[in-house]
Amino acid sequence: MSLTVYTANWCRDCREAKRFLDKHRIEYNEIDIEKTPGAADQVLENVGKKAIPQFVLDGKWIQPYRPGQGFLHKEMAALFGVAD
């Protein structure tokens, strides 16, 4: 499994996503869109907006949160096969 997480330091949902991954010992490569040239453009190209956090799991882009609802704990737990 290959997981990349697009984030930014100021993003509360990003911090929650990383806490979830760390809690379940899910390895990931983090790309900060503020510090990595072209990263924000990659997000825009693939999801149509500069919305973070974004997971890229084995090449598939996944939005692990829903605006107004926050991080999708149950859905992400099911996706990764872990207990929430």
User: Is there a contact between 23 and 79 (Cβ–Cβ < 8 Å)?
Assistant: no
DSSP label at residue 28: -
Residue 75's identity, in one-letter code, is E
Q: What is the CATH number of the domain that holds 42?
A: 3.40.30.10
Task: Give the tens place of pLDDT for each residue, 9-46.
Answer: 999 999 999 999 999 999 999 999 999 999 999 999 99
| Torsion angle in degrees (nearest 10) through CA of 35, 41, 42, 46 | 140
pLDDT, position 6: 98
Report the number of distinct structural domains present in the chain: 1
Domain extent for 53 = 3-80
Residue 80's identity, in one-letter code, is F
pLDDT, position 47: 94
pLDDT, position 38: 97
Task: Give the tens place of pLDDT for each residue, 47-74.
Answer: 999 899 999 999 999 999 998 899 999 9
pLDDT, position 79: 96
Going from the C-alpha of 72 to that of each of 1, 35, 37, 76, 79, the distances in angstroms are 20, 26, 28, 6, 11
